């Protein structure tokens, strides 16, 4: 086979491989109009049961009647590392807790020893459910972390925050206060 033919054949093989790879990638990437976590606002929060780093059980449906803040994060995520001190401050606020706020920092698919060490090194005091199988990510249609979900006393998702940056703290605090002020339907 001459050199020109070999290069031509190689070019066809590379083009087919590239097209095939691009097709596979497109199938795995979420569609632009596909529902995401924000589309869940106002709907019932999917129930979830996970074990915490401390060995307790976290079951969302058992917390109905409380306002629940769930922050989904990982140790390797820079915006998560930026948001976690704020989440910890909220979890330590006795006034918010007295009004019915429960705070959980749900870890995204990392091993317990790694998460335990990270939490200890940073002196975090919030409860950390371990989502080793990515259930939260699937149920809540998560596309990026951190993702912070606020569930009202009625079990419905009140507000969702994706990412963390300037102004995030104020938005989260405002949504928490609004959810705590909402006593739910009176019968």
Q: What is the mean pLDDT of each run of 10 residues along the chain (187 residues)?
A: 52 40 38 71 96 97 97 97 97 98 98 97 98 95 95 97 92 97 67
Per-residue pLDDT at 83? 97
Residue pair 185/110 in contact (Cβ under 8 Å)? The answer is no
Q: Is the pTM of this model over 0.95?
A: no
Domain 37-181 in CATH 3.40.30.10: yes
Residue pair 60/47 in contact (Cβ under 8 Å)? The answer is yes
Sequence spans of domains, the chain: 1-30, 37-181
Per-residue pLDDT at 14? 38
Residue pair 104/25 in contact (Cβ under 8 Å)? The answer is no
Per-residue pLDDT at 10? 46
Per-residue pLDDT at 22? 37
Per-residue pLDDT at 183? 78
Per-residue pLDDT at 149? 97
């Amino acid at each position: 086979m001459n050199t020109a033919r070999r290069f031509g054949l190689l070019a066809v093989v590379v083009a087919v491989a590239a097209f095939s790879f691009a097709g596979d990638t497109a199938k795995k990437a979420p569609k632009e109009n596909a529902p995401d976590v924000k589309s869940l606002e106002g709907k019932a929060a999917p129930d979830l049961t996970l074990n915490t780093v401390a060995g307790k059980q976290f079951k969302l449906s058992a917390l109905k009647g409380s306002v629940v803040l769930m922050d989904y994060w990982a140790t390797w995520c820079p915006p998560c590392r930026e948001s976690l001190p704020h989440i910890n401050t909220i979890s330590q606020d006795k006034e918010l807790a007295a009004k019915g706020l429960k705070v959980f920092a749900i870890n995204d698919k990392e091993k317990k020893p790694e998460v335990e060490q990270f939490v200890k090194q940073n002196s975090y005091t919030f409860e950390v459910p371990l989502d080793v199988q990515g259930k939260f990510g699937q149920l809540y249609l998560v596309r990026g972390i951190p993702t912070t979900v606020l569930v009202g006393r009625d079990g419905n998702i009140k507000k969702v925050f994706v990412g963390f940056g300037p102004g995030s703290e104020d938005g989260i605090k405002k949504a928490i206060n609004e959810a705590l002020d909402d006593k739910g339907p009176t019968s």
